Structure 1
Amino acid sequence: MTERSVWRFDAIGTVWEVETRHPLPEESRDAVAARIEDFDAIWSRFRPDSLVARLAREGGAVPAPADAAAMLDAYAEVSRATDGAVNPLVGESLARRGYDATYSFADRGPTPAPADWRAIVHWSDTTLEVRAPALLDVGALGKGRLVDLVLETLAPWAQGDVVVDAGGDLAVRGGPQRVGLEHPYDPRRAIGVVEVTDAALCASATNRRAWGDGLHHVLDARTGEPVRAIVATWAIGPTAMRADAAATALFFDGGPALAHDWGAEWVRMTSDGRVEWSPDSKAELFT
């Protein structure tokens, strides 16, 4: 097997790995770092200087960031499919449960996100408007979107097969790549493996970013309470943004139907240890 080059770095609170046939030149790494910084400076709710932090304080209309329409259009589809369980104004709900800008992990109780978020958040190709101060959170699909952007940024330099992995959300060009599906109750084990070729695989689990008495980062926006029935999801789609969004939707009723409409394969585990999968899933599951 030909030895491949792996570049590891930390960004947006996770470890990234970029695997390529040949070592990447310094200019490509600088381009990736700049792309990530630009995205983070707009969309991070953990940075007081970000655009979404300013909109949370002041509201108002701004020139639309390059990714706003693509992400919010997808968010609207996921919100409809899950009957409002996924909502980009869940940021304040997460903050009140302790997943805030300072990572206080101090629970102040459940707060539903505004159900009428489409009346508050407006967007077009040219403008993003938050009509009343509100905290946008793109966590349902933002990391996937950034994986796609990093892959796009590397295109002039990365020849042949490329894998961009951001803490388990990954995009593969070329392939195939065999990926283990980590057991949410035991990270030393896998519930199966799946082969990914020219696609993206994104995962989400309630054991990641968990704190306090059963709190974690996957909230039902309608109630502000953490989900209980599903503990882990995996989705494969043509882009990492779509795979990430599908993986989030799969925690709720309506998620499987959305994944089907988007052409995404999926696997998920329930809290009692059962494993479910889509009819078209090619994962090898260790049942």
Structure 2
Amino acid sequence: MRRVEHVMGFPVSLRVDDEQVPGSAVDAVFAWLREVDERFSPFKPGSEVSRLDRGEIGPCEVSADLAEVLALCEEYRVATGGAFDVRLPGRGLDPCAVVKGWAVQRAAELLRAAGVERFCLNAGGDVVAAGGPWRVGVRHTERADRLCTVLEITDGAVATSAHYERGAHILDGRTGRPATGLLSVTVIAATLTEADSTATAAFAMGTEGIAWASARPGCQVFAVDAERRVLRTEGVPVAA
């Protein structure tokens, strides 16, 4: 079973290789992601995030889901010394860097709860996979038609942060300016919540982010710095 929809501003594709595919579980995945977009997008005036940012609801009045997301945002802000920050001066509250991985990981858990064993859920290039091996390509930093490497994932997640798709959109919260020092950071972890947030946080930190991400429990890192040097931890699961 394969299905693709444009949700949360990017294409989301789901492939399930089980012999029996519960259609209700697949529907639930995309319904959940559409719900997240409505509730947590800072670009939708009626979202919970926008209402919180305008002061229409207080921090103690947010939903349990948003409270969880904001707690994760604060965890990464503290861990990076402020390089990762969803409340930059002069900008509205924007937790998208955490919401994407968190939401897609939750979608993967819906599949597992429904008994789906072998699947690959790809959200704009960030991947949760189960029942592999699955081959996941990491895009070249300067050539859209080439790959830097191909990873082999059995059960886990892969996320990449870079400037090549959306320009200099990742800011260093310590300076308020676009992050420098790295061209891309790919993190492999048990969950996409961890992989995506860690990749974005590491990119925001610049070159020091590689060592920081590598030291996080369960994380493997593949990065390309501004000098076009490839840096990776020993456990990166490169496909044969």
TM above 0.5, yes or no, is yes
Q: How does 1:187-206 map to 2 (within 5 A)?
A: 187-206=144-163
Q: Secondary structure at the match of 2:97?
A: coil
Q: Is the 8 A contact 2:141 2:184 kept in 1?
A: yes
Q: What TM-score do you get using the length of structure 1 for normalisation?
A: 0.74
Change (3 A) 1:273 1:23: farther
5 Å-filtered alignment, 1:37-56, equals: 37-56=34-53
Please say which of residues 136-145 and 61-70 is displaced more in the overlay: 61-70
SS state at 1:34 partner? helix
2:9 corresponds to which of 2, 9, 13: 13
By how many angstroms is 1:282 displaced?
3.0
Structure 1 stretch 69-78 or stretch 265-274: which is displaced more?
69-78
Shift of the 81–259 alpha-carbon distance from structure 1 to 2, 3 Å rule, reads farther
Residues 124-163 of structure 1, C-alpha deviations (whole Å, 9 max, x = no match)? xxxxxxxxxxx32122222111111111222354533111
Distance in 2 between residues matched to 1:141 and 1:23, nearest whole Å: 32
**Amino acid in the other structure paired with 1:237:** A
Instruction: Report the 3-state secondary structure (helix = DSSP H, G, I; strand = E; otherwise coil) of the residue aligned with 2:2.
Output: strand
Count of residue pairs brought into register by the alignment: 235
Aligned to 1:257: 212
* Contact 1:20–1:158 under 8 Å retained in 2: no
3-state DSSP class of the match of 2:51?
A: helix
Higher helix share: 2
Residues 195-239 of structure 1: CA deviation (Å, up to 9, x unaligned) = 1111000111101112xxxxx211112222111211111001111
Q: Is the 8 A contact 2:187 2:196 kept in 1?
A: yes
CA distance in 1, matches of 2:131, 2:48: 35
Q: Deviations over 1:41-96 (max 9, x none)?
A: 22101111101111222252353423334433332332223210101213854xxx
* Closer/same/farther in 2, CA of residues 277 and 91 from structure 1, 3 Å limit: farther
TM-score of the aligned structures, taking structure 2 as reference length = 0.88
Which consecutive unaligned segments of at least 5 residues does structure 2 have? none
When structure 1 is superposed on structure 2, of 154-163 and 262-271 the one drifting more is 154-163
Instruction: Specify every segment of 5 or more residues in structure 1 that has no aligned partner in the other structure, as ranges.
Output: 94-134, 211-215
Matching residue's letter, 2:81? D
What RMSD, in angstroms, separates the aligned Cα atoms of the two structures?
2.2
Distance in 1 of aligned mates of 2:210 and 2:78: 10
Contact 2:21 2:116 (8 Å CA) reproduced: no
Matched, 1:36 2:33: yes
Map 1:217-256 to 2 at 5 A: 217-251=169-203, 252=205, 253-256=208-211
Report the counterpart of residue 104 of structure 2 in structure 1: 147
What is residue 120 of structure 2 aligned with on the other side? 163
Structure number with greater CO (CA < 8 Å, separation at least 6) is 1
Greater gyration radius = 1
Percent of counterpart pairs with the same letter? Answer: 31
**Which residue does 2:227 correspond to in 1?**
272
1:25 Cα deviation after fit: 4.9
Q: What are the equivalent positions in structure 2 for 1:81-96 lying under 5 Å apart?
A: 81-90=79-88, 92-93=90-91
Indicate how the Cα distance of structure 1 residues 262 and 63 shifts in structure 2: closer, same or farther if over 3 A, else same: farther
Match of 1:58 in 2: 55
AA aligned to 1:227 is A
**Cα pair 2:121 2:128 within 8 Å, conserved:** yes
